[in-house]
């Protein structure tokens, strides 16, 4: 709790006219129900979900019907970066799209969760082809 709001505050400073609502991922059942009601009412254009892989993808899949015209994006640990809690990977890793590898190096206990990424990518590709 607090990281998503800090990220929202930092983004709001850079883009003052932007309207941002922020919720953390540690909601009780009743709080999650309230969030779903708010989403249905607001119908935001963009919804960023940072619950980690694969939890955020499952949450998006289960709830995207609430805002069918919205763009839903799983952003993983991006809120940590945007909030200032963590720094981005060095330029080399960013340039070659290897930020995930740098993060794995920093947090080796995440290796099991990283295994879900190829499986998810394959499922997305197969669904896109109609299989």
At residue 90, the pLDDT reads 95
Reduce the DSSP state of residue 119 to 3 states and report it.
Answer: helix
Specify whether 75 is located in the same domain as 95: no
Cα separation, 111 vs 105, in Å, equals 9
**For 1-131, where are the alpha helices, taking DSSP H only?**
3-14, 29-42, 55-63, 78-83, 91-95, 99-106, 111-114, 116-128
At residue 122, the pLDDT reads 85
Specify whether 63 is located in the same domain as 105: no
> pTM for this structure?
0.76
At residue 130, the pLDDT reads 65
Specify whether 11 is located in the same domain as 58: yes
Specify whether 67 is located in the same domain as 92: no
Count of the separate structural domains present in the chain: 2
Specify whether 65 is located in the same domain as 55: yes
At residue 131, the pLDDT reads 60
Which residue reads 């200032």 in tokens? Answer: 84
At residue 111, the pLDDT reads 77
Specify whether 7 is located in the same domain as 42: yes
Specify whether 12 is located in the same domain as 60: yes
Specify whether 23 is located in the same domain as 47: yes
At residue 65, the pLDDT reads 97
Specify whether 56 is located in the same domain as 116: no
At residue 127, the pLDDT reads 84
Regions of the chain short of the pLDDT cut 50 = none
What residue numbers bound the domain in which 121 lies? 88-131
pLDDT tens for each residue of 13-44: 999 999 999 998 889 999 999 999 999 999 99
Q: Which residues pair with 48 in a beta bridge?
A: 73
């Amino acid at each position: 709790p607090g990281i998503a709001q800090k990220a929202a505050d930092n983004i709001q400073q850079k883009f003052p006219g932007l309207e941002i609502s922020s919720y953390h991922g540690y909601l009780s059942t009743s709080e999650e129900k309230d969030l779903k009601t708010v989403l249905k009412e607001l119908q935001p254009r963009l919804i960023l979900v940072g619950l980690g892989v694969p939890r955020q993808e499952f949450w998006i899949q289960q709830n995207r019907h609430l805002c069918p015209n919205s763009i839903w994006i799983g952003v993983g640990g991006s809120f940590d970066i945007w909030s200032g809690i963590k720094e981005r990977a060095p330029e080399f890793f960013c340039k070659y799209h290897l930020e995930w590898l740098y993060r794995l190096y920093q947090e080796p206990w995440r290796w099991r969760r990283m295994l879900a990424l190829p499986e998810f990518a394959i499922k997305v590709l197969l669904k896109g082809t109609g299989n």
